[in-house]
Protein backbone atom coordinates (compact mmCIF):
# COMPACT_ATOMS: atom_id res chain seq x y z
CA UNK A 1 0.00 0.00 0.00
CA UNK A 2 1.20 3.49 -0.83
CA UNK A 3 0.34 6.51 1.28
CA UNK A 4 0.12 10.17 0.37
CA UNK A 5 0.35 11.28 3.99
CA UNK A 6 3.42 11.95 6.08
CA UNK A 7 5.40 8.97 7.31
CA UNK A 8 3.16 8.45 10.31
CA UNK A 9 0.34 6.83 8.36
CA UNK A 10 2.68 4.39 6.65
CA UNK A 11 4.39 3.39 9.88
CA UNK A 12 1.13 2.76 11.68
CA UNK A 13 -0.27 0.87 8.69
CA UNK A 14 -3.54 2.77 8.83
CA UNK A 15 -5.16 5.65 6.99
CA UNK A 16 -5.08 8.88 9.02
CA UNK A 17 -6.78 12.24 8.49
CA UNK A 18 -8.84 11.11 5.52
CA UNK A 19 -5.82 10.35 3.33
CA UNK A 20 -6.50 8.19 0.27
CA UNK A 21 -4.84 4.74 0.22
CA UNK A 22 -3.29 3.67 -3.05
CA UNK A 23 -3.43 -0.10 -3.25
CA UNK A 24 -0.68 -2.01 -5.05
CA UNK A 25 -2.50 -5.18 -5.98
CA UNK A 26 -0.89 -8.53 -5.18
CA UNK A 27 -0.19 -11.28 -7.67
CA UNK A 28 -3.23 -13.56 -7.66
CA UNK A 29 -2.74 -17.32 -7.90
CA UNK A 30 -5.97 -18.64 -9.39
CA UNK A 31 -4.99 -22.33 -9.11
CA UNK A 32 -4.24 -22.15 -5.38
CA UNK A 33 -6.70 -19.32 -4.72
CA UNK A 34 -4.22 -17.18 -2.83
CA UNK A 35 -2.43 -13.88 -3.21
CA UNK A 36 1.34 -13.40 -3.39
CA UNK A 37 3.16 -10.10 -2.75
CA UNK A 38 3.35 -7.53 -5.57
CA UNK A 39 6.44 -7.26 -7.75
CA UNK A 40 8.77 -4.26 -8.17
CA UNK A 41 7.19 -3.39 -11.53
CA UNK A 42 3.76 -3.23 -9.87
CA UNK A 43 5.12 -0.75 -7.33
CA UNK A 44 6.92 1.27 -10.01
CA UNK A 45 3.74 1.60 -12.06
CA UNK A 46 1.73 2.85 -9.09
CA UNK A 47 4.42 5.31 -8.06
CA UNK A 48 4.43 6.74 -11.58
CA UNK A 49 0.65 7.11 -11.41
CA UNK A 50 0.88 8.77 -7.99
CA UNK A 51 4.12 10.80 -7.81
CA UNK A 52 2.93 12.51 -4.63
CA UNK A 53 2.95 9.22 -2.68
CA UNK A 54 4.98 9.44 0.53
CA UNK A 55 5.77 5.82 1.33
CA UNK A 56 5.23 2.14 0.56
CA UNK A 57 4.02 -0.55 2.99
CA UNK A 58 4.88 -4.08 1.85
CA UNK A 59 3.68 -7.24 3.62
CA UNK A 60 6.18 -10.08 3.30
CA UNK A 61 6.39 -12.98 4.02
CA UNK A 62 2.70 -13.80 3.79
CA UNK A 63 1.20 -16.10 6.37
CA UNK A 64 1.60 -18.91 3.83
CA UNK A 65 5.28 -18.25 3.27
CA UNK A 66 5.43 -16.54 -0.13
CA UNK A 67 7.86 -13.62 -0.20
CA UNK A 68 8.36 -10.43 -2.14
CA UNK A 69 11.46 -9.19 -3.92
CA UNK A 70 12.19 -6.72 -1.12
CA UNK A 71 15.40 -5.38 -2.61
CA UNK A 72 13.72 -4.82 -5.96
CA UNK A 73 10.85 -2.96 -4.31
CA UNK A 74 13.31 -0.97 -2.16
CA UNK A 75 15.24 0.10 -5.26
CA UNK A 76 12.01 1.29 -6.89
CA UNK A 77 10.94 3.20 -3.78
CA UNK A 78 14.32 4.80 -3.23
CA UNK A 79 14.52 5.88 -6.87
CA UNK A 80 11.29 7.77 -6.18
CA UNK A 81 12.72 9.03 -2.88
CA UNK A 82 10.07 7.36 -0.72
CA UNK A 83 10.70 4.97 2.19
CA UNK A 84 9.88 1.27 2.11
CA UNK A 85 8.25 -0.06 5.28
CA UNK A 86 8.03 -3.84 5.52
CA UNK A 87 5.44 -5.60 7.66
CA UNK A 88 7.51 -8.70 8.38
CA UNK A 89 5.16 -10.20 10.96
CA UNK A 90 6.04 -13.75 9.89
CA UNK A 91 9.77 -13.14 9.50
CA UNK A 92 11.38 -13.03 12.95
CA UNK A 93 13.60 -15.98 12.05
CA UNK A 94 14.81 -14.68 8.67
CA UNK A 95 18.04 -12.92 9.77
CA UNK A 96 19.54 -16.02 11.34
CA UNK A 97 20.08 -18.51 8.49
CA UNK A 98 21.16 -18.06 4.84
CA UNK A 99 18.77 -20.80 3.73
CA UNK A 100 15.79 -18.60 4.57
CA UNK A 101 14.32 -15.76 2.50
CA UNK A 102 15.79 -12.28 2.62
CA UNK A 103 15.40 -10.21 5.77
CA UNK A 104 14.03 -6.73 5.10
CA UNK A 105 16.99 -4.94 6.68
CA UNK A 106 19.48 -6.90 4.55
CA UNK A 107 17.35 -6.11 1.49
CA UNK A 108 17.58 -2.32 2.08
CA UNK A 109 14.12 -1.64 3.53
CA UNK A 110 13.95 1.54 5.59
CA UNK A 111 11.77 0.19 8.40
CA UNK A 112 10.86 -3.39 9.28
CA UNK A 113 8.20 -4.30 11.83
CA UNK A 114 8.46 -7.85 13.15
CA UNK A 115 6.04 -9.83 15.31
CA UNK A 116 8.52 -11.97 17.20
CA UNK A 117 5.75 -14.03 18.80
CA UNK A 118 4.84 -15.62 15.44
CA UNK A 119 7.97 -17.32 14.09
CA UNK A 120 10.25 -16.42 17.00
CA UNK A 121 10.39 -17.42 20.64
CA UNK A 122 8.81 -14.43 22.38
CA UNK A 123 5.40 -14.28 24.04
CA UNK A 124 2.26 -12.74 22.55
CA UNK A 125 2.39 -9.02 21.65
CA UNK A 126 6.19 -9.08 21.36
CA UNK A 127 7.08 -6.94 18.33
CA UNK A 128 10.03 -4.79 17.31
CA UNK A 129 10.98 -2.02 14.89
CA UNK A 130 14.16 -2.22 12.82
CA UNK A 131 15.21 1.14 11.34
CA UNK A 132 17.96 2.24 8.97
CA UNK A 133 18.76 5.12 6.58
CA UNK A 134 17.25 8.57 7.06
CA UNK A 135 13.98 8.41 5.11
CA UNK A 136 12.03 7.71 8.29
CA UNK A 137 12.82 10.05 11.16
CA UNK A 138 13.71 8.22 14.35
CA UNK A 139 12.16 11.07 16.35
CA UNK A 140 8.89 10.86 14.42
CA UNK A 141 8.84 7.09 14.79
CA UNK A 142 9.38 7.36 18.54
CA UNK A 143 6.61 9.95 18.87
CA UNK A 144 4.16 7.77 16.97
CA UNK A 145 5.09 4.74 19.06
CA UNK A 146 4.58 6.78 22.23
CA UNK A 147 1.17 7.88 20.95
CA UNK A 148 -0.03 4.35 20.20
CA UNK A 149 1.87 2.30 22.76
CA UNK A 150 1.09 1.56 26.37
CA UNK A 151 2.55 3.43 29.34
CA UNK A 152 2.41 0.17 31.32
CA UNK A 153 4.85 -1.95 29.36
CA UNK A 154 5.24 -5.61 30.33
CA UNK A 155 8.63 -6.67 31.63
CA UNK A 156 7.79 -10.21 30.45
CA UNK A 157 7.52 -8.98 26.85
CA UNK A 158 10.87 -7.21 27.02
CA UNK A 159 12.54 -10.20 28.67
CA UNK A 160 11.12 -12.57 26.06
CA UNK A 161 12.38 -10.35 23.25
CA UNK A 162 15.85 -10.11 24.69
CA UNK A 163 15.96 -13.84 25.43
CA UNK A 164 14.99 -14.65 21.86
CA UNK A 165 17.58 -12.22 20.47
CA UNK A 166 20.36 -13.77 22.55
CA UNK A 167 19.33 -17.36 21.75
CA UNK A 168 19.32 -16.64 18.02
CA UNK A 169 22.61 -14.72 18.12
CA UNK A 170 24.32 -17.62 19.90
CA UNK A 171 22.50 -20.70 18.58
CA UNK A 172 20.18 -19.54 15.81
CA UNK A 173 22.03 -20.96 12.81
CA UNK A 174 22.22 -24.47 14.26
CA UNK A 175 18.63 -24.47 15.50
CA UNK A 176 17.26 -23.23 12.19
CA UNK A 177 19.47 -25.61 10.22
CA UNK A 178 17.81 -28.47 12.08
CA UNK A 179 14.36 -26.97 11.49
CA UNK A 180 15.02 -26.65 7.75
CA UNK A 181 16.05 -30.30 7.49
CA UNK A 182 12.98 -31.27 9.48
CA UNK A 183 10.70 -29.29 7.17
CA UNK A 184 12.34 -30.89 4.12
CA UNK A 185 11.68 -34.38 5.51
CA UNK A 186 8.08 -33.53 6.30
CA UNK A 187 7.45 -32.04 2.88
CA UNK A 188 8.90 -35.12 1.16
CA UNK A 189 6.81 -37.49 3.30
CA UNK A 190 3.59 -35.51 2.73
CA UNK A 191 4.20 -35.43 -1.02
CA UNK A 192 3.75 -39.22 -0.95
CA UNK A 193 0.29 -39.06 0.61
CA UNK A 194 -2.66 -39.21 -1.82
CA UNK A 195 -5.02 -36.26 -1.82
CA UNK A 196 -2.52 -33.78 -0.38
CA UNK A 197 -0.73 -31.09 -2.40
CA UNK A 198 2.16 -29.51 -0.50
CA UNK A 199 3.21 -26.05 -1.62
CA UNK A 200 6.92 -25.47 -2.10
CA UNK A 201 9.38 -23.45 -4.11
CA UNK A 202 7.50 -24.22 -7.31
CA UNK A 203 5.72 -20.92 -6.70
CA UNK A 204 9.12 -19.27 -7.26
CA UNK A 205 9.79 -21.26 -10.43
CA UNK A 206 6.32 -20.34 -11.69
CA UNK A 207 7.11 -16.65 -11.18
CA UNK A 208 4.44 -16.16 -8.51
CA UNK A 209 6.78 -15.21 -5.65
CA UNK A 210 10.39 -14.08 -5.35
CA UNK A 211 11.17 -16.48 -2.49
CA UNK A 212 9.45 -19.07 -0.31
CA UNK A 213 9.88 -19.82 3.37
CA UNK A 214 10.42 -23.61 3.54
CA UNK A 215 9.47 -23.68 7.23
CA UNK A 216 5.83 -23.09 6.26
CA UNK A 217 4.12 -26.43 5.55
CA UNK A 218 1.13 -25.45 3.40
CA UNK A 219 -1.08 -28.39 2.44
CA UNK A 220 -4.00 -28.18 -0.02
CA UNK A 221 -6.64 -30.75 0.98
CA UNK A 222 -9.28 -30.15 -1.69
CA UNK A 223 -8.52 -33.44 -3.45
CA UNK A 224 -9.66 -35.22 -0.27
CA UNK A 225 -13.12 -33.77 -0.88
CA UNK A 226 -12.98 -31.55 2.20
CA UNK A 227 -11.94 -28.00 3.05
CA UNK A 228 -9.03 -26.83 5.12
CA UNK A 229 -11.46 -25.76 7.84
CA UNK A 230 -12.88 -29.26 8.05
CA UNK A 231 -9.38 -30.73 8.07
CA UNK A 232 -8.34 -28.45 10.93
CA UNK A 233 -11.42 -29.35 12.97
CA UNK A 234 -10.91 -33.07 12.35
CA UNK A 235 -7.25 -32.91 13.35
CA UNK A 236 -8.15 -31.08 16.55
CA UNK A 237 -10.99 -33.43 17.48
CA UNK A 238 -9.51 -36.76 16.40
CA UNK A 239 -5.75 -36.29 16.79
CA UNK A 240 -5.52 -33.39 19.30
CA UNK A 241 -3.35 -31.48 16.85
CA UNK A 242 -3.85 -27.77 16.18
CA UNK A 243 -2.53 -26.43 12.88
CA UNK A 244 -1.43 -22.85 12.49
CA UNK A 245 -4.03 -21.85 9.92
CA UNK A 246 -6.77 -23.08 7.62
CA UNK A 247 -9.13 -21.80 4.96
CA UNK A 248 -11.49 -23.20 2.38
CA UNK A 249 -8.60 -24.79 0.44
CA UNK A 250 -5.78 -25.71 2.80
CA UNK A 251 -4.18 -26.02 6.19
CA UNK A 252 -0.79 -24.68 7.20
CA UNK A 253 1.73 -25.46 9.90
CA UNK A 254 5.00 -23.81 10.91
CA UNK A 255 8.17 -25.69 11.73
CA UNK A 256 10.24 -23.68 14.17
CA UNK A 257 13.49 -23.86 16.10
CA UNK A 258 11.63 -25.46 19.01
CA UNK A 259 10.25 -28.48 17.13
CA UNK A 260 11.81 -31.86 17.72
CA UNK A 261 11.52 -35.43 16.44
CA UNK A 262 8.41 -36.03 18.51
CA UNK A 263 6.46 -33.04 17.17
CA UNK A 264 7.57 -33.92 13.63
CA UNK A 265 6.25 -37.46 14.12
CA UNK A 266 2.96 -36.24 15.62
CA UNK A 267 2.23 -33.92 12.70
CA UNK A 268 3.10 -36.51 10.05
CA UNK A 269 1.02 -39.26 11.70
CA UNK A 270 -1.90 -36.87 12.15
CA UNK A 271 -1.91 -35.97 8.46
CA UNK A 272 -1.64 -39.65 7.47
CA UNK A 273 -4.69 -40.29 9.63
CA UNK A 274 -6.49 -37.39 7.97
CA UNK A 275 -5.93 -38.97 4.55
CA UNK A 276 -7.19 -42.32 5.81
CA UNK A 277 -10.20 -40.79 7.57
CA UNK A 278 -11.22 -38.15 5.05
CA UNK A 279 -14.05 -40.29 3.65
CA UNK A 280 -15.73 -40.25 7.08
CA UNK A 281 -15.92 -36.43 7.11
CA UNK A 282 -19.35 -35.15 6.17
CA UNK A 283 -19.37 -33.39 2.81
CA UNK A 284 -20.60 -29.82 2.90
CA UNK A 285 -21.79 -27.45 0.24
CA UNK A 286 -18.70 -25.84 -1.25
CA UNK A 287 -17.68 -22.27 -0.58
CA UNK A 288 -18.41 -20.27 -3.73
CA UNK A 289 -14.92 -18.96 -4.35
CA UNK A 290 -14.92 -15.92 -6.63
CA UNK A 291 -12.46 -15.26 -9.40
CA UNK A 292 -9.44 -13.49 -7.84
CA UNK A 293 -10.13 -10.20 -9.62
CA UNK A 294 -13.63 -10.15 -8.16
CA UNK A 295 -12.01 -9.47 -4.80
CA UNK A 296 -10.59 -6.16 -6.05
CA UNK A 297 -13.49 -3.94 -5.06
CA UNK A 298 -13.95 -0.34 -6.11
CA UNK A 299 -12.93 2.17 -3.43
CA UNK A 300 -15.73 4.74 -3.75
CA UNK A 301 -15.29 6.56 -0.42
CA UNK A 302 -12.30 7.03 1.85
CA UNK A 303 -12.20 4.31 4.56
CA UNK A 304 -12.37 6.75 7.46
CA UNK A 305 -15.28 8.68 5.95
CA UNK A 306 -17.19 5.46 5.31
CA UNK A 307 -16.54 3.98 8.74
CA UNK A 308 -17.66 7.08 10.61
CA UNK A 309 -20.35 8.14 8.16
CA UNK A 310 -24.14 7.72 8.50
CA UNK A 311 -24.94 4.04 8.04
CA UNK A 312 -27.77 1.54 8.04
CA UNK A 313 -28.20 -2.24 8.10
CA UNK A 314 -29.74 -3.68 4.93
CA UNK A 315 -30.58 -7.28 3.97
CA UNK A 316 -27.74 -9.07 2.18
CA UNK A 317 -29.53 -9.11 -1.16
CA UNK A 318 -29.96 -5.33 -0.97
CA UNK A 319 -26.29 -4.69 -0.14
CA UNK A 320 -25.11 -5.28 -3.72
CA UNK A 321 -24.02 -1.99 -5.23
CA UNK A 322 -23.97 -0.21 -1.86
CA UNK A 323 -20.89 1.24 -0.15
CA UNK A 324 -19.67 -0.70 2.86
CA UNK A 325 -19.43 1.09 6.20
CA UNK A 326 -17.61 -1.80 7.88
CA UNK A 327 -14.75 -4.24 7.54
CA UNK A 328 -15.71 -7.85 6.78
CA UNK A 329 -12.97 -10.37 7.51
CA UNK A 330 -13.96 -14.05 7.39
CA UNK A 331 -12.04 -16.32 9.76
CA UNK A 332 -10.26 -18.32 8.62
CA UNK A 333 -8.02 -16.80 7.33
CA UNK A 334 -8.95 -13.41 8.83
CA UNK A 335 -8.07 -11.24 5.82
CA UNK A 336 -10.55 -8.45 4.99
CA UNK A 337 -12.69 -9.17 1.95
CA UNK A 338 -14.56 -5.87 2.24
CA UNK A 339 -13.14 -2.62 3.64
CA UNK A 340 -15.05 0.54 4.55
CA UNK A 341 -15.71 2.65 1.49
CA UNK A 342 -15.68 -0.23 -1.00
CA UNK A 343 -18.61 -1.08 -3.27
CA UNK A 344 -20.15 -4.45 -2.37
CA UNK A 345 -20.63 -6.81 -5.33
CA UNK A 346 -22.85 -9.83 -5.90
CA UNK A 347 -19.82 -12.14 -6.18
CA UNK A 348 -18.53 -11.06 -2.79
CA UNK A 349 -21.93 -11.42 -1.13
CA UNK A 350 -22.27 -14.95 -2.58
CA UNK A 351 -18.77 -15.84 -1.41
CA UNK A 352 -19.28 -14.54 2.11
CA UNK A 353 -22.76 -16.02 2.53
CA UNK A 354 -21.62 -19.45 1.31
CA UNK A 355 -18.69 -19.19 3.69
CA UNK A 356 -21.00 -18.51 6.62
CA UNK A 357 -22.97 -21.66 5.72
CA UNK A 358 -19.69 -23.52 5.65
CA UNK A 359 -18.37 -22.31 8.99
CA UNK A 360 -16.70 -18.93 8.48
CA UNK A 361 -16.67 -16.64 11.52
CA UNK A 362 -16.97 -12.91 10.83
CA UNK A 363 -16.31 -11.24 14.14
CA UNK A 364 -15.77 -7.71 12.85
CA UNK A 365 -19.07 -7.28 10.98
CA UNK A 366 -21.98 -5.58 12.75
CA UNK A 367 -24.05 -8.67 11.92
CA UNK A 368 -21.77 -11.75 12.13
CA UNK A 369 -24.43 -13.87 10.40
CA UNK A 370 -24.16 -11.58 7.34
CA UNK A 371 -27.90 -11.72 6.90
CA UNK A 372 -27.53 -7.95 6.86
CA UNK A 373 -24.69 -5.63 5.86
CA UNK A 374 -23.77 -2.24 7.28
CA UNK A 375 -23.69 0.27 4.41
CA UNK A 376 -23.55 4.01 4.00
CA UNK A 377 -26.92 5.72 4.05
CA UNK A 378 -27.84 7.03 0.63
CA UNK A 379 -27.99 10.84 0.33
* CATH code of the domain covering residue 141: 3.40.640.10
Q: Are residues 193 and 128 in the same domain?
A: no
Same structural domain for residues 229 and 111?
no
Residues 32 and 144 in one domain: yes
Measured CA to CA, the distance from residue 76 to residue 44 in angstroms comes to: 6
Range of the domain at 359: 292-376
**What pTM does this model have?**
0.87
Domain of residue 209, CATH code: 3.90.1150.150
Give the phi and the psi of residue 220 in degrees, each rounded to 5.
Answer: -80, 125
Domain harbouring 348, CATH code: 3.90.100.10
102: which residues sit within 8 A by CB, 6+ positions away?
67, 70, 71, 94, 211
364 and 233 assigned to the same domain: no
Give the model's pLDDT for residue 5. 38
Last residue of a domain, one of 156, 186, 217: 156
Q: How confident is the prediction along the chain (379 residues), in pLDDT tens digits per residue?
A: 554 333 323 322 222 223 567 888 888 898 898 889 999 999 999 999 888 888 999 999 999 999 999 999 999 999 999 999 999 999 999 999 999 999 999 999 999 999 999 999 999 989 999 999 999 999 999 998 888 888 888 999 999 999 999 999 999 999 999 999 999 999 999 999 999 999 999 999 999 999 999 999 999 999 999 999 999 999 999 999 999 999 989 999 999 999 999 999 999 999 999 999 999 999 888 888 888 888 889 989 989 999 999 999 999 999 999 999 999 999 877 888 999 999 999 999 999 999 998 888 898 999 999 999 999 999 8
What pLDDT is attached to residue 52?
87
Cα 216 to Cα 94, 204, 253: the distances in Å are 13, 14, 6
Residue 161 falls inside a structural domain: no
Domain-located, residue 164: no
Q: Residue 160 has what pLDDT? A: 95
**CB neighbour list of residue 285: distance below 8 Å, 6 or more residues apart:** 354, 357, 358
Report the pLDDT value the prediction gives residue 292, as an integer from 0 to 100: 80
Asked if residue 247 belongs to a domain, the reply is: yes
Q: Is 310 exposed, middle or buried (0-12, 13-18, 19+ CB in 10 A)?
A: exposed
**Is 355 within a domain?**
yes
Nearest to 343 by CA among 300, 290, 379: 300
CB neighbour burial string for 147-179, b if at least 16 within 10 angstroms, e if fewer: eeeeeeeeeebeebbeebbeebeeebeebbeeb
Count of structural domains, the chain:
3
DSSP state of 12: H
Residue 1: what pLDDT?
59
* Same domain for 65 and 204: no
Query: Does some domain include residue 222?
Result: yes
Is 285 a domain residue? Answer: no
Euclidean distance between CA atoms 304 and 319, whole angstroms = 20
Distance of CA 312 to the CA centre of its chain: 30
pLDDT the model gives residue 379: 80
pLDDT of residue 14: 27
Q: What stretches of 209-315 show up as alpha helix (H) in DSSP?
A: 228-239, 261-277, 303-308
CA triple 145-165-137, angle to 5 deg: 30
Q: Does residue 111 share a domain with residue 9? A: yes
C-alpha triplet 148, 304, 60: angle, nearest 5°? 60
What is the structure's pLDDT at 2? 52
CA distance 288 to 334: 17
- Domain end: 280, 313, 346, which one? 280
Strand partners, 259: none
Strand partners of residue 361: 331
Claim to verify: residue 81 and residue 219 sit in the same structural domain: no
Give the 3-state secondary structure of residue 42.
helix
My answer on whether 222 and 273 are in the same domain is yes
Exposed (0-12), middle (13-18) or buried (19+): which is 195, by Cβ within 10 Å?
Answer: middle
Q: For position 286, what pLDDT does the model report?
A: 80
Are residue 332 and residue 365 in the same domain, yes or no? Answer: yes
Asked whether residue 226 is assigned to any structural domain, the reply reads: yes
- Tell me, yes or no, whether 6 and 108 share the same domain: yes
Is 120 domain-assigned? yes
Query: How large is the greatest C-alpha to C-alpha distance in the chain, in angstroms?
Result: 63
Contact 24, 2 (CB under 8 A): yes
Tell me if residue 271 falls in helix, strand or coil.
helix
Q: Are residues 133 and 10 in the same domain?
A: yes
Same domain (yes/no): 193, 275: yes
Amino acid sequence: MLSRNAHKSVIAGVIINGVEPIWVHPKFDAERHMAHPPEPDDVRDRLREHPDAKGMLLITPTELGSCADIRGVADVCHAADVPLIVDEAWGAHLPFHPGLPSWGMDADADLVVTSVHKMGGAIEQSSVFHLQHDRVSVDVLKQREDLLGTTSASSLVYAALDGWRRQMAEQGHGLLDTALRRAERLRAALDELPGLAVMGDEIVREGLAAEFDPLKIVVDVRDLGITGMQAAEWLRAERHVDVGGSDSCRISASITHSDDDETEKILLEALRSLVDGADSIERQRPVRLPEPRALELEQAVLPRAAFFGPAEQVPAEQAVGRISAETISPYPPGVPVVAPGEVITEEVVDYLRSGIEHGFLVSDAADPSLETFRVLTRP
